[in-house]
Chain A
Amino acid sequence: MEIFSNILIYFVIVPLLTIGGLALTSNKGIKAIRAVAVAGASVLMVLAIWLVMIFLRERGAGNQADMILTGSWMWYEPLNVKLALGVDGVSVVMILLSAFIVFAGVFASWKMNPLPKQFFLWFFLLSTGVFGFFISIDLFTMFMFYEVALIPMYLLIGVWGSGNKNYSAMKLTLMLMGGSAFLMLGIIGIYFHSSADGQLTMNILEIAKNNAIPASWQMWLFPLTFIGFGVLGAMFPFHTWSPDGHASAPTAVSMLHAGVLMKLGGYGCFRIAIFLMPAAAQSIGWIFLLLTGISIVYGAFSACVQTDLKYINAYSSVSHCGMVLFAILMFNHTAMTGAVLQMLSHGLMTALFFALIGMIYGRTHTRDIREMGGMMHIMPYLGVGYVIAGLASLGLPGLSGFAAEMTIFFGSFQHPDMFHRVLTVAATCSIVITAVYILRVVAKLLFGVVQDEHHRSLTDATWEERLSTATLILAVVAIGCFPNFFIDIIRDSFNPIVDALQALKM
C-alpha cells in the first residue's frame, strides 16, 4: 500500500509492533521482555536519526515546502477526517527527542517490578500516542493520538507508582482530561469554520490556507485551545497536577511525561492555537504571556523550598515549560526557535533528572533531601550525572539549557513592544533563582557528610543505568555545543506562522 512507503507511519507502527511482541512474551521471561523493548526503542532511535537525515537532504536539495513527507489517506468520509501526515523542522526534532527519551526510559526501567511486561506494554502505547501526535497534521488524528498518550498515564502511575499514587493518578488524569475537553470544543469550533466555501476540513495546512475563521470566533477558540494545551504545558494556574503526578510516577513515566508529554502542550499551542488563530493570538496573547511569565518566576520560587527531589524538579519544570510558552507568544523567529530548543533541552535534562532521582530513590528509598547527604562519596557516577543535569538546568554554557534560554531571551528582547521587553527582563531573573535551588539540592544531596550510615553500603550505577544517563548527557552536550545545527533545522519552520502574524499587522 502507498501509505507504507511513507517513513512517518513507521513511528506509529514500530511501537505497535513492539506492543504486539511484548504481548507474545511470558510475564516470567524478563530477558525476552527486555529484548523486545530494547529492540523497539532502538529501531525508533534509528528511524528518528534517519528522519533527520532525510529532512536535511530534502532541505539541502532545495525543498522549501512548509511540510515534507506529506501524505493523506481518507479515514472517515462524512466528516472529511483523514490520516494526514507531514513534518517540518520542529516535528523532526521533537520526534528525535522522543526517540532519545524512550530509549533512555527503557534502560532506566530495566528492573521494573512487578509486572514488567504490562509496564512496557503501556509504556509503548504511550509512545505510540506521542509519536503519532508529532507526525499528524490533521486535527482529528492529532487529538486522537493525544488521548492515546494520556490514558496509559493513569494506569502507569496508578499501578507502578509510589506514595499517594491513586490520588495523583486521578488528579493528573482528570486535569489533563479537563484540558482536552477545552481542546475538543476548540477543535470542533475550528472545524466548523475551517473553510469559507462548504467543504469543511480537519487538515491544519488547509485550514491555515483558507484562513476562514472569523475574528470573533478566534477570540473564543484561541483561549480554548491554548488553555487546553497549556494545562499539559503546566501553565500557571493549571500546573498543580505536575508536582503530585511526577512525585508518584515511576521513573520511566516521569521521564517520558516531563520529557515528551509536556512538550505536546507547547507544540500544540503554536501548531494549532497560534497558527490557526493568528488574529486572536495577536490581540489577546498578552494575557497568556502574563500567565506564562508568572509560571516562570513562580515555579522557580516554589522550587526553592521543596524538600522532595521530585517536587523540586516538578516545580522547576513549571518554570522551564513556562519559558517555552512564554517564548512562543513572542511571535518572532528567534524566540520561537528558542522555545523549541528549550523543549528539547528541558525534555532531555528533566528526563535525566528523573532517571537519576529514580536511581537514587531505588537505593536509598527516600527522596527527602534532608535525609540524604554526601552521595558524591557513595555513588560518584550518579552524583556527577546529577551535577551535569543541574548545570544544564541552570543554563551553563556548553550544555543545552544555555543555548535555549539565551535564544529565548535575546529573541524576546527583540520585540518592539516595551511591555514584552519588560516581561522578558522579569523572566530573565529566573536564571538566578534557578541557580539557587539547583545548587541548594546539589549541596544538600551530593556534598557534605553522609547523613545516614546505611547509605555507605550502597552501590554506584549499573551498566544499564550508565547507558541510560550517558545517552541523555551526550544529547544535552550536543545541543549545548552545536546549537546552530538544531537552529538551522528549526528556524525556517516558523516562516508560515510569522508570516501570518506579520500579514495581520500590515
Chain B
Amino acid sequence: MITNTVLVLVLPFVMFLFLGLAGVKMPRKTAGVLGVAGMLVTTVLAYWVAIDYFVNHPQHEQIIANVDWLNFTPRLVARMGVLIDPISAMMLVVISTVSLMVHLYSLGYMCDHHGHAEKGFQRYYSFLALFTFSMLGLVVATNIFQMFIFFEMVGLSSYLLIGFYYSLPAANHANKKAFIVTRLADLFFLLGIMILTFSTGTFDFDALVGLGNMDASQKAVGTMDGLNFMGIPAVGWALVFIFIGGAGKSAMYPLHIWLPDAMEGPTPVSALIHAATMVVAGVFLIARMFPLYVLVPMAMNVVAVVGAFTAFYAAAVACVQSDIKRALAFSTISQIAFMMTSLAVSADGGKLLGGHEAGLGYMASMFHLFTHAMFKALLFLCAGAIIHAVHSNENDQMHGLHKYMPITSIAFLIGCLAIAGIPPFAGFFSKDEILVACYERGLGWGLWMSMVAGMTAFYMFRIYYLIFFWKKHEVHTEHEPADQPWTMTLPLIILATISCVAGFVPFGKFVTYNGAPLETHINWTVAGTSVGIALVGIALATWLYFKENPKPERMKNAMSGLWTAAYRRFYMDELYQFITHKIIFQGICKPIAWFDRIFIDGFFNKLADLTGNASFAIRRVQGGNTQSYAFVYLLGALLLAAITGVVIVMI
C-alpha cells in the first residue's frame, strides 16, 4: 500500500518533469493525451490504495512511512513520508477524480474553435501534473512541516496556472495577488509551527495528534503548559496562527480576496484548484489537527466565528455578482466556510459535543468536502463550457442558453440542486449533518447557518436562471452556442452522476475523527427546516429571475447602497489596495529607500568628500617649494626664540 501511495505521488511528478522539459519537442495534442493517460493511471492507483485501505484495515489505523529529510536538530527532524488514514484515503479519491476529469475536459477546453490546441498546451498539462502532485503530497503528509512544504507547492502551482495566460495584465496581477496573500497566511502558519514545535520538539502528526483518542494531543498540550505570551497561552497562539495559514488557502474572511481574482486562470483550473481541491487544504489542515483544536477552546472558537461570518459574507456577495465565475467563487468561499464551521462547532469547552454522535461535525465537514468537490467541480466545468460557447463571463451575454446547451443546462441544474441541499442530491446529506452539528452547539449557530443555506439556494438559482432562461438568447458570436465536444461533456455527465448518488455513501462508516464508525440518522426536524428554507430560496429566485421582468432592477434601485456595497464585495479589495499601496509601498518602502540613498549613502559620500577636501586643503604643506619651507622654518625658529626669551625673562 505504501508503494502504491508513493507511486501515486511519483507519477504526476514525473509527468510534470517530462512534459515540462520535453513537452516543447512534441506535438501539443500528444502532450495532452500523455497527461491524461498519466493521470488515469494515477487515479486507478489512488482508488486502489483507498479501497485497499478501507477493506483491509477496518480498524482505520494510521499507516505511516517516513524518510528523514531535514534534520534541524537530532530531535527535531523534518520528514517526508506518506500517512494513510481515513481522511487522506478519502482525499486521494477526491483529488484524483476531479483531477482526471479536469485533465480530460481540458483536452477540449484548451482548444480554439477549430479544435487546435492553444499555445502552451504542454506547459498547461505539465503544471496540472505539478499541482496534482503537490496536492496529493499535501494530503498524505505525515507531519506538519511536510504539510507546510506542500502548502507552498500548491501555492506555486496555483500561481503558475492562474497566470497561464501571462500576457494578460489581469492574469498577471491576479497570480501575484494570490501568491502574496497566501504567502502572508503561510507566514503565520510557519510561526504557528515554530511555536508549536518549540516545546513539543516534533513535527510528526502521530506524536502531536495521534488518532483515535486525545492522549497524544493532551501530552503535546501538556508540554506547552505555562508558556504564555501577552497573557495568551502559547498553544493558543500556535493554533490560531496555524488556522490563519489554513484560512489563507481556504479563502476565509479577510484573506479571501485572492480567490475571486484567481478566476482569471483557465476555467478547468478554477474547477480543480480554486473550487474542489486546493481551497479545502485549510479545512484539511484543521481536520488533521482536530484533537489539538478540541483541547484549546479559544482557538476552536476563532475558527467557528471566522467560519460562520465568512459563510454569510460570501453568500451575500454571491447574490449580486454578474460574472458567473466570480459568483461561483464566492459560493465556494461560503461552502468552505460551512466546512470550517462544522469542524469548529463539534466541540466546546475542550470536549466533543453530541453524546453518542460525538464528532458528528468533523464527519459532516469531511463529507461536505467530498460532495462539494464533486458538485462544485461540476458547476465550474459547466461554466467553462458556457464561457467556451459564448466567449464571455458576464451573465448578460448569456440568457436563454437552455435551448442551445441542454446537457450543460441539466448538469448545471443538478449541481445547483446539490449545493442547495435538495434531497436526494449529494449536498442534502452532507449539509444536513453540518446543520445538525451546528444546532448541537447552540440554536444561534444553527439558525445562522440555516439562513446561509437558504441564501445559497437563492444565489445558485439566480445564476442558473440568468444563464439558461430569463430571455431569449441573442447570438453574439459567429457560431450558435452549443454543447461542447465529448471530452468536455463526458466529465460533466460523470460528475453530475456522482453528485446525484454521492449522498448515499455511508460516510460515517469510513471517515470519523477517531476511526470508529459513526451511525448517522437523518434528523428530520433539521432536514425538513433546511429543505424548506432552500425551497423558499429557490422560489424567490424563480419569482425574480426565471423570466425577464423589472423586479430585480427595481429591487436593486431600492437598496442601491447595499447592492453596490455587496457588488464591490464590501470594499475589501479597496481596503487592501489602500494598505498595500498607500501604507506599505508609499509609506514604508519608499521612505526606506530614500533614507538609504540620502542618509546612509550620503553619510559615506560626505565622509569621502570631507577626506578629499581636507587633504586638498593641507596639500600646500607638502608643496615642494623650498622658499616657503624656508619661510615657515624661519617663522618657527623666530617664534621659538621669542617664547624662550619670554620664559627666561619671566623666570
* A residues with CB within 8 A of B: 171, 174-175, 237, 239-240, 298, 301-302, 304-306, 333-334, 374, 376-377, 391, 394, 396-398, 402-403, 406-407, 409-411, 413-414, 424-425, 428-429, 431-432, 435-436, 439-440, 443, 446-449, 483-484, 487-488, 491
Q: Is the CB of B176 within 8 A of A443?
A: yes
Pick from A240, A305, A429, A431: contact of B601, CB below 8 A.
Answer: A240
Q: How far is the CA of A301 from the CA of B187 in the complex (A)?
A: 17
Residue contact A301 to B588, C-beta cutoff 8 Å? yes
Which residues of B come within 8 Å of A, CB atoms?
68-73, 76, 78, 149-150, 152-153, 156, 163, 166-167, 169, 172-173, 176, 179-180, 183-184, 186-187, 190-191, 194, 197-198, 585, 588-590, 592-593, 596, 600-601, 603-604, 608
Closest beta carbon of chain B to A228's beta carbon, Å: 16
Note all chain B residues with C-beta closer than 8 A to A240: 596, 600-601, 604
The smallest beta-carbon distance between A389 and chain B, in angstroms, is 14
**What is the bound-complex CA distance between A443 and B176, given in angstroms?**
8
Chain B residues with CB under 8 Å of A443's CB are: 172-173, 176
Q: How far is the CB of A205 from chain B (nearest CB, A)?
A: 26
Q: Is the interface of A mostly helix, strand, loop or mixed?
A: helix
Verify B152–A396 contact, CB threshold 8 A: yes
> Besides A171-B608, A305-B593, A483-B69, 15 other CB < 8 A contacts?
A240-B601, A302-B592, A334-B72, A396-B153, A402-B152, A413-B194, A414-B73, A414-B198, A429-B187, A432-B183, A432-B184, A436-B180, A443-B173, A487-B71, A488-B71
For B176, give the chain A residue with the smallest CB separation: A439
Tell me whether B592 and A298 are in contact (CB under 8 A): yes
Shortest Cβ-Cβ A-B pairs, 3 listed: A447-B166, A397-B149, A304-B589
Provide the bound-state CA to CA distance between A403 and B593, in Å: 29
| Contacting residues, chain A, for B600 (C-beta < 8 A) | 237, 239-240
B198: chain A residues at CB < 8 Å are 413-414
Residues of B close to A374: CB separation below 8 A: 167
Check A447 against B180 for contact (C-beta < 8 Å).
no
Residues of B within 8 Å of A431, CB to CB, are 183, 186-187, 190
- Decide: B166 and A484 in contact? CB cutoff 8 A: no
- Is B197 in contact with A410, judged by CB distance below 8 angstroms? yes
Interface centre among A409, A424, A432 (most CB of B within 10 A): A432
CB-based nearest A residue for B183: A435
Residue contact A396 to B156, C-beta cutoff 8 Å: yes
A398 surroundings in chain B (CB, below 8 A): 153
A428 B191 Cβ-Cβ under 8 A:
yes
When distances are taken between beta carbons in the complex, the residues of chain A under 8 Å from B173 are 443
Q: How far is the CA of A394 from the CA of B187 in the complex (A)?
A: 12
B69 close to A334 (CB less than 8 A): no
25 residue pairs bridging A and B, Cβ less than 8 Å apart: A171-B608, A240-B596, A240-B600, A298-B592, A301-B588, A302-B589, A302-B596, A304-B593, A305-B590, A334-B76, A376-B166, A403-B70, A406-B70, A414-B73, A428-B190, A435-B180, A440-B176, A443-B173, A447-B166, A447-B167, A448-B167, A449-B167, A483-B69, A484-B68, A491-B71
Closest chain-B Cβ to A346's Cβ sits at a distance in Å of 18
Q: Could you tell me the distance between the alpha carbons of A414 and B596 in the complex, rounded to whole angstroms?
A: 32
CB of A196, distance to nearest CB on chain B (Å):
35
- Residues on the B chain within 8 Å of A406, using CB: 70, 72, 78
**Are B180 and A171 neighbours in the complex by a CB distance under 8 Å?**
no
Minimum CB–CB distance from B136 to chain A (whole Å) comes to 15
In the assembled complex, the CB of A9 is this many whole angstroms from the nearest CB of chain B, namely: 34
Pairwise interchain contact A439-B179, C-beta atoms closer than 8 A:
yes
A171 interface neighbour in B76, B190, B604, Cβ under 8 Å: B604
Q: A414–B169 Cα gap in the complex (Å)?
A: 43
Taking CB atoms, residues of chain A closer than 8 Å to B183 are 394, 431-432, 435
Q: Whose C-beta in chain B lies nearest to the C-beta of A374?
A: B167
Contacting residue for B180 out of A377, A397, A439, A446, CB 8 A: A439
Closest CB in chain B relative to A450 CB, distance in Å:
9
Return chain B residues, CB-CB under 8 Å to A428: 187, 190-191, 194
Q: Contact at A483–B70, with CB atoms within 8 Å?
A: yes
Say yes or no: A397-B153 contact (C-beta < 8 A), given A334-B72, A411-B72, A439-B179.
yes
B-side contacts of A301, CB under 8 Å: 588-589, 592-593
Instruction: Please indicate the chain B residues that have their CB under 8 angstroms from the CB of A414 in the complex.
Output: 73, 76, 198
Is A305's CB under 8 angstroms from B585's CB?
yes
In the assembled complex, the Cα of A435 lies from the Cα of B69 at a distance in Å of 25
Q: Kindly identify which residue among B172, B191, B592 contacts A425, using a CB–CB cutoff of 8 Å.
A: B191
A341 CA to B198 CA, complexed, in Å: 22
Residues of A within 8 A of B190 (CB): 409, 428, 431
Residues of B within 8 A of A484 (CB): 68-71
In the complex, which residues of chain B have a beta carbon less than 8 angstroms from the beta carbon of A483?
A: 69-70
Query: In the complex the two chains form, what is the Cα distance from A411 to B593 in whole Å?
Result: 30
Residue contact A377 to B167, C-beta cutoff 8 Å: yes
Alpha-carbon gap, A483 to B194, bound state (A): 19
Q: Which of B194, B593, B608 contacts A410 (CB 8 A)?
A: B194
What residues of A have a CB within 8 angstroms of the CB of B78 in the complex?
406
Cα of A78 to Cα of B194 in the assembled complex, Å: 53
Among B72, B78, B198, B589, find the residue whose CB has the most chain A CB atoms closer than 10 A. B72
Flag if B167 contacts A487 (CB, 8 Å). no
Contact of A304 among B191, B585, B601 (CB under 8 A): B585
- Beyond A302-B593, A439-B179, whether A409 also contacts B194 by CB under 8 A is yes
Contact of B156 among A174, A391, A449 (CB under 8 A): A391
